[in-house]
Chains A and B, each alone.
Chain A
Amino acid sequence: MGNSLLQYATVLMLTIFVGTEIIAKVPSILHTPLMSGSNAIHGVILVGSMLILGGATTNLQEVLGFLAVILATLNVVGGFVVTDRMLEMFKPKTQKPKATTNEEVTQ
């Protein structure tokens, strides 16, 4: 038991460094999608919720687990869909203005 705690603590420490390192230089226009994207990632609590409901032996545990799975699914699905919708908007769209200049040239 003590060993596994040490292993988890190691993972924790290393992940803290990875987490701060990978977003140190994000441009501010991406702050919102980044927040939303990491919001979706902590939806991984769905895995924990499934294990809780899957291991439930009393009615109380079943009710709490059931609610947890619903909430966590909202988090995962909503999080990813919203982020995707935001990022969809970042595609550069240049076709339209070009089309009008072409028209003017031909006229």
Chain B
Amino acid sequence: MSRETLIDLLYLFSATTFVVALKGLGSPKHARKGNMIAAFGMAVAIVATFFKYVDGHSLHHVWLILLAMFIGFIVAVPTARFVKMTAMPQLVAIFNGVGGGAAALVSITEFVHIKSTHPATYVTLEVLLGVLIGTFSFSGSAIAFAKLQELMTGRPITYPGQQAINGVVGLASAAIIVTILVTSSTPLLWVLFALAFVLGVIFVLPIGGADVPVLISLLNAFTGLAVAASGFTLGSNLLIVAGTLVGASGILLTRLMSKAMGRSLSNVLFSAFGSKVTASGATTRADGASVRSGTPEDIAILLGFASRVVFIPGYGLAVSQGQHVLRELAEVLEKKGIEVFYAIHPVAGRMPGHMNVLLAEANVPYEQLVEMDEANSELQTADVALVVGANDTVNPAAHDDPSSPIYGMPIIKADLAENVVFLKRSMRPGFAGIENELLYNPKTTLVFGDAKDTLTKMVAAVKAS
């Protein structure tokens, strides 16, 4: 067997592990093993590549390759290991962005490399698509990262004629691609690079923080496609398979995610959702309805008389790092014979499934986490619904008020419980920027303050009673 055939067989093996891994990631039981399998397949492909011949000679610059890998490795491992669980979404964004950047660089270099050989038009087209999509994904992910990391506002940034400007930049990129196909001009390639960069930025600006996870999933799919495009250029089946797998599954995943939020993908991407803050943020509204606030001790007494308590956690819980104290509260309540479970909205936190991860990290037993539909049928018999740092995901406007921007979004029906308690930092509205009627409901009590502090006081008060 020749060296090239052996390497190609190893690549085929790697590509197979990727398919197996994605399949495994679809079920909680096999997910971790699936990820390990893919990592192993990746390692095989990387080692095999060291023995590959390029243009008839073995790899040049092996030491430079090892040095670059070493640099990447020592930056990536500690970052990935030690960043807080709450910051996971922006981490995925940034790792996706650098992948897109790498794909764009590969395509640019390949363009410079093959230009002298007067390649066929379709080869140039693949290269240009790789540059366009890869760069778009890079700059888009960078802005998504900035939004989630709160380096810039998480609210949508809009300006007049926004969609028209985006359209013009998009068309200009297409025109440049056609021109390069005809002239194969290298300076124009850099123009395309710059335009793709700008396009990524202006595409992401009007997308609100709550929708960014869907966007990251989309950019992830784009990076996959950019990798597939480089695979065409380099003539590598491995890159085509891996890139296309990620591209196809990523686009489907993006649609599933927007469906979980009860919205269409185009609504997520183009409507600048949450740009208008319509909530007053006052404790008394114009029509005279006002909120009732209580102390942690009041709530402890309320909980003490309950027989069934439902916790509804949201991102605010994660921000205050209160997961552990919440679990402690559940434990002291259970000792008193009170039944406790957690109702998890599919998009609670910053990404789908994020809340499950955060609670699991705090050692909350898996069986106590109840998904939305089941939780809604259980809530009718609950005495207290304790909403910790959530807002939009329990807003009854989603099923009562057709004029509301979140109308149709699936919610946890906290309003079905006998009593509703909100732990809130302030009257500030949630990501959607709209009023929550439930806050003014007579059966609702608000406890203002940092969720962790409030929960700690509640644990002490329940223990004392």
Contact = CB atoms under 8 A, between A and B. Distances in A.
Interface size class of B (residues with CB under 8 A): 35 or more
Nearest to B361: A89
B95 interface: yes
A39 B25 contact: no
B105 A68 contact: yes
A47 B242 CA distance: 11
A22 B91 CA distance: 25
Point out which of A60, A67, A82 has the most chain B C-beta atoms below 10 A from its C-beta.
Answer: A82
Interface residues of A, number: 86
B60 A41 contact: no
Interface string A15-52: 11111101111111111111111111111111111111
Interface stretch (B49-57, B269-277, B422-430): B49-57
Interface in B363-401: 363, 365-367, 371
B246 A29 contact: no
B54 A38 contact: no
A40 B105 CA distance: 18
B91 A71 contact: no
A45 B106 contact: yes
Contact of B61 (A18, A31, A54): A54
A48 B38 CA distance: 17
A83 B102 CA distance: 20
Nearest to A50: B49
Interface stretch (B142-150, B300-308, B351-359): B351-359
A45 B103 contact: yes
A47 B112 CA distance: 19
A47 B26 contact: no
B241 A47 contact: no
Interface string B423-454: 00000000000000000000000000000000
B374 to A, nearest CB: 13
Nearest to B80: A81
Point out which of A33, A48, A72, A90 has the most chain B C-beta atoms below 10 A from its C-beta.
Answer: A48
26 contacts: A12-B228, A17-B248, A19-B245, A20-B248, A27-B28, A29-B344, A29-B353, A39-B95, A43-B99, A48-B231, A51-B59, A52-B106, A66-B68, A68-B101, A68-B102, A69-B68, A73-B76, A76-B42, A77-B77, A77-B80, A78-B95, A82-B91, A89-B360, A90-B366, A93-B366, A94-B366
Interface of A: 1, 4-5, 8, 11-12, 15-20, 22-58, 60-62, 64-94, 96-97, 100
